[in-house]
Amino acid sequence: MKIAVLAAGAWGTALALAFAARHPVTLWAREADLVEEMQARRENLRFLPGFPFPDALEITSDLQAAVQQAGLILVATPIAGLRPTVRALAAQGVRLPLLWVCKGFEAGSGKLPHQVVQEEMPGVPCGVLSGPSFAQEVAGGQPTAITLAARDADFARAMAQELHGGHLRIYASDDLVGAEVGGAVKNILAIATGVCDGLQLGLNARAALVTRGLAEIARLGVALGARKETFMGLAGVGDLILTCTGDLSRNRRVGLGLAAGKSLEQVLADLGHVAEGVPTALEVDRLAARLGVDMPITAAVAAVLQGRVAVRDVVEQLLARDPRDESC
C-alpha cells in the first residue's frame, strides 16, 4: 500500500521513515526550499536531523503527485494545519482513507480533529494515530506502541494490521473521541508538570499532578462521549506519562521555561517547534467552562499562559483548593 505522508515536521518525517521499511512512501512538504534540501541531503536537517532517508522514500512539494496512486493519506500537520490540508485535498477531489496525528482542539472552533475532517471531507474513512511516541525514537527504530482509533472498528483493525510491523506496534480502537481527547489534554498537563519540575516541587508533587491530571482528561472525555477505560490505555495514561516525564517533550519544556522565569514568547522561540499544549490549553479551558467540567489544572495552565497569574502564585492556588473525594 502506498502511503502519502503530508507535512515533513519531526513526526511526519519519523513516520515516513518507519513506514518506508514496509511500504512505498511519499513525504510531502509545502515549503519548496525544505523539499529541495531534503532531496539533496536525503535527511531532514531542519526538523529531524541524524536520520538518513532510504533511497525508496520519495519527497515532493506537489500535493497532487504525493497522493497519486496512494492507498492511505497520513496528515502530519499541527492541528492548525489540518483544515487547510484536508480542504486542499477535497478541492482536488481526493476521497482516500485518511489518518491524522495532530493532537489538540482547533483554535477558535474548539473542535476535535475528526470534526474538522468530517466538515471538509464528509464520509471519508478516517481515524487518528495517537499514543506514547517521540519522533526521534520512532525514526531510530526503537520499540513503540500506539493506538489507531476510528469510529469504524473494521477500518481501525484493517489499518492497524496494514501499518503494524517492525518496532512499531499498533493497536486498534473504536473510541475515536477518547483517543483524541487523551492526546490533546496530556499536552496541557505536560506544561503543568514542566512547571512543577522547574520549581523543584519534588517527585511526590509530580506524581500527584499526573494522577489528578488523568482524572481531568477522563472527565472531559466522558462529557464528550468517550469511554472512561480508553484513558487507561496507550492513548490515555501511556501518552500522559511519556509527555509529562520525557525530556524530549516539547510541552514539558514549555513548562520548564516558564518556571525559569522566561516569557512564553521566549520559550516558544527557543523551542523552534510547535507546542500543541499552548493553544489547546486555552480551547480546553473554554470548553470545560461551557460543559461544566471541573479542570483546575487546565485552568491554572491557561491562566499562566495568558499572563493572568504568576507561575508560583498558581501553584499556591492549586494547593489551597478545598479537599474532596478522590473519585471527583
Distance from C-alpha of 151 to C-alpha of 156, rounded to nearest angstrom? 8
- Is 2 assigned a catalytic role? no
Average the pLDDT over each of 128-137, 184-193, 288-297, 306-315 and give the range with the smallest value: 306-315
In a domain, 324, yes or no: no
- Mean pLDDT (the chain, rounded): 95
Catalytic position from the list 2, 103, 111, 186: 186
Answer yes or no: do 80 and 157 share one domain.
yes
pLDDT of residue 326: 72
Answer yes or no: do 166 and 288 share one domain.
no
Answer yes or no: do 138 and 155 share one domain.
yes
* Domain boundaries, position 292: 177-319
Q: Is the pLDDT of residue 29 over 70?
A: yes
In a domain, 133, yes or no: yes
| Cell numbers linked to 223 | 462529557
Answer yes or no: do 105 and 239 share one domain.
no
| Cell numbers linked to 204 | 511526590
Answer yes or no: do 181 and 170 share one domain.
no
Q: What is the pLDDT confidence band of residue 278, given thresholds at 50, 70 and 90?
A: very high
Q: What is the pLDDT confidence band of residue 325, given thresholds at 50, 70 and 90?
A: confident
In a domain, 328, yes or no: no
C-beta separation of 299 from 285 below 8 A: yes
Answer yes or no: do 193 and 49 share one domain.
no
CATH code, 45: 3.40.50.720
Please give the average per-residue pLDDT across 57-74, as a whole number.
97
In a domain, 163, yes or no: yes
Answer yes or no: do 307 and 247 share one domain.
yes
Q: Is the pLDDT of residue 24 over 80?
A: yes
In a domain, 220, yes or no: yes
Q: Each residue of 229-242: pLDDT tens digit?
A: 999 999 999 999 99
* Domains in the chain, number: 2
In a domain, 244, yes or no: yes
C-beta separation of 28 from 7 below 8 A: yes
